Structure 1
Amino acid sequence: MHNEHRLELDDDTMRRVLSEAGVDPVTATGWVELTEGTYNTAYRIRRAGGPGLVLKVAPHPDAPGLTHERGLMRTETAFYRAAGGRAPVPEVVHADFGRTTVPADLLLMTEIQGDTLAARAATTTPAEAAALRTGLGRVVAGLHEVTGTGYGYPQLGLARTWREAFLSMVDGVLADAARFAVALPVDDVAGRMRSHAALLDEVSRPVLVHFDLWDGNVLVHDGRVTGLIDGERAFWGDPLAEFVSLALFDDIERDRAFLSGYGAGPFTRSARLRLAMYRSYLYLVMLVEGTPRGYSGPGHQQQVELVRKHLCAELGAL
């Protein structure tokens, strides 16, 4: 899936960016684009006698996007700064929001040693995988010790209650679906969400939620979790929402190794209903985002059908 609005840097621009970040370009022995992402452009930068760096470049500011996709690099920067010391995240070296020669936000951070869980999947034994999931549970529990002063996406302004924040998030993506003419498989999504809105009032503590912790955003090395990356989708809210991407298209209650590390479960009926709401929200985002990004082709269509099926199932539980 290629996003035509992604920005790529030539060598001269890269050297200027490094200089503006206080990094002597002479110390950079080379850089290579990381191709795993579909939204930002990212580069791994090697340095002589020092730790590596990662540079992320946001899409062009004129690129079409979803309501919550404004200022995501600011959110990722804030996520790393808030989570530092509580969870293994990159250290922010330099953040530049539209002031350089590049017409987009930039984030330069330390590189964390390790491969993604997704990359390791084929060579990890079941026992090793279970140990990593338990370790990941402990890491996420540490992340969820970080609390804020309000609820919702920081780049959109925080709300006083989780109910207000989450329903606004749902309204935003539904407005995006209408704006980009994306057909939804279920009528009155907002009504189904609001029918259980009182359950959201059980959340009384705004926790830092990454909300994109699929296996491609978890780094591991030497049998342990070494990093949580790509924190741009983060918000302050219900820690239960974290479990959606941790068990994408599945049920987190099946992941006993993770839950033992996290220290959660069994879930109440209220928790399961809230999880259905959060799954529905993520599937809505996944269903709508492909249109402004210009995704197409058989692989994308298969993904759309899979998301639609799971969205119907979760909304059917509400």
Structure 2
Amino acid sequence: MPNAVSPTQRLLTADDLTALLAERFGLAAVHCGQLSGGTFAAVWRATLDDGRDVVVKVGPPAGVPLLRYEQGVIAAEARYYRTVGAATPHVPVPPVLHADDDVVVVGLLPGRPLTELPGEDAETVREQLGVALRHLHTVTGGHFGYDGAGRASGTTWRDAFTAMTADLLADAADWGVPLPVPAEEILATVDRHGDALDEVERPALVHFDLWDGNVLCDGTRLTGLVDGERYFWGDPLYDFVSPAIGRRMEELPEHPVLRGYYGGPGPHTFTATQRRRLMLYRLQFDILLLAEMPSRGMVGDEARERHEWVTPRLLADHQDLGRPATV
């Protein structure tokens, strides 16, 4: 039976997917099944008649309301994989086999999500994630922010980050999502800390969404960074937010991601200005977690639980950003 967990996920059957692959790309699938884990696109695994195992990501149905930054993200995912694959072979990403505006077909990588790996083994993979991020962040773009028409960007990181934040606040307003801090206060906070954002002068490639479910491993070997459709060009520090969701990376000086990133044991510390930027990034990230709830069909207890989980963190970072800034 078709299975979707949010309005953005297209309802497909195995026959639908088989027909789609044949029509779009001339591919013949002999077996396919839906994968779980995401809440935006429909994701399937398929075996082709030539023996290749692939992952197929299909974008939302036409006309389904999306957040502003989500416009064109399926095509963006293909661009991310191609960019990383061409620029840094040290970072494992799947090869893009076929892609168009709302379907991408990639090779299946070995391994399973880091969410399934126990304690010490997971720490080993996280250290390798830090090494991979160090290589990923050497890739430089021609502007800051997202790529693609109509998505937030800018010639400076301050401009791009402000536009990205403003779009999320507008999304929250459009969907009627209550925020614990008024939008004008959030934008004023971003503006007040613009000097910290101005420290970022090179638009590095940022994955953005590296929670454990998007990190693949085979045993204790890192095998893939997937779901890169939300990538943008900006501050490498932003990639320290999602690997430590619910915590503050600057308060975890021995974190294995930092150990891998900086090439040795800690403690690894951040400057006061870097700490301000990390607070700004978490603030924006938490706004996203709230703003996206209606588009994902999150209502009732599920929405309440996320709001109760996110709100204290958002308020804590906003409060700390309100303290006198130090350099």
Tell me if TM exceeds 0.5: yes
CA distance in 1, matches of 2:294, 2:15: 33
1:310 pairs with 2:322: no
Deviations 1:230-266 (A, max 9, x none): 0111100000011111111112231522111101831
- One-letter code of the match for 2:122? A
Q: How many residues align?
A: 305
CA separation in 1, counterparts of 2:204 and 2:5? 33
Question: Partner residue of 1:57?
Answer: 58
Q: Using the alignment, how far apart are the partners of 1:79 and 1:133 within structure 2?
A: 21
Q: Which residue of 2 aligns with 1:267?
A: 270
Contact kept, 8 Å, 2:14 with 2:32, in 1: the verdict is no
Of stretches 146-155 and 264-273 in structure 1, the one that deviates more from structure 2 is: 264-273
From 197, 201, 205, the counterpart of 1:200: 197
CA distance in 2, matches of 1:134, 1:290: 32
For 1:272 and 1:154, the matched residues in 2 are separated by 27
Code of the aligned partner of 1:213: L
Instruction: Return the offset for 1:294.
Output: 1.9
Structure 1 residue 49: Cα displacement: 5.7
Distance 1:10 1:294 in 2: 21
Which residue number corresponds to residue 92 of structure 2? 88
Deviation at 1:200, TM superposition (A): 0.8
Of residues 41-50 and 160-169 in structure 1, the stretch that sits farther from structure 2 once superposed is: 41-50
Task: Give me the CA root mean square deviation.
Answer: 1.7
Give the distance between the partners of 1:110 and 1:149, measured in 2 at CA. 28
**2:324 maps to what in 1?**
none
Deviation at 1:21, TM superposition (A): 5.1
Equivalent residue of 2:202, what SS?
A: coil
Q: Matches of 1:45 and 1:222 in 2, distance apart?
A: 23
CA distance in 2, matches of 1:78, 1:50: 25
How far apart are residue 142 of structure 1 and its match? 1.3
Consecutive unaligned residues of structure 1, counting only runs of 5 or more, are 98-104
- Asked if 1:108 is matched to 2:105, the reply is yes
- In 2, Cα distance between the equivalents of 1:142 and 1:206? 14
Partner of 1:130: helix, strand, or coil? helix
CA–CA distance in 2 between the matches of 1:303 and 1:184?
A: 12
Give 3-state SS (helix, strand or coil) of 2:43's partner. strand
Q: 1:43 to 1:260 in 2, by over 3 A?
A: same
Are the counterparts in 2 of residues 79 and 231 from structure 1 also a CA contact under 8 Å?
A: yes
How far apart in 1 are the matches of 2:63 and 2:24? 24
CA distance in 1: counterparts of 2:130 and 2:140, whole angstroms:
18
Alpha-carbon shift at residue 107 of structure 1 (Å):
0.7
Counterpart Cα distance in 1 of 2:49 and 2:105: 17
Kindly indicate whether the alpha-carbon contact (under 8 Å) linking 1:21 and 1:93 is maintained by their aligned counterparts in 2: no
The 2-side partners of 1:307 and 1:48 are apart by: 45
Question: Aligned-pair distance for 1:42?
Answer: 0.5
Compute the displacement of 1:33 (Å).
0.5
TM-score normalised by the chain length of structure 1: 0.91
Number of the residue aligned with 2:244? 247
For each residue in 1:40-80, what CA deviation from the matched residue of structure 2 results, as whole angstroms up to 9, or x when unmatched? 00000123563310000111131112111111112111111
Match of 1:177 among 167, 172, 193: 172
Percent pairwise identity? 38
Specify the alignment match of 1:132 in structure 2: 125
Query: Residue in 1 aligned with 2:224?
Result: 227
Change (3 A) 1:267 1:5: closer
**1:305–1:157: structure 2 CA closer, same or farther, 3 Å change rule?**
closer
SS in structure 2 opposite 1:38? coil
Contact 1:77 1:107 in 2 (8 A): yes
Deviation at 1:293, TM superposition (A): 2.5
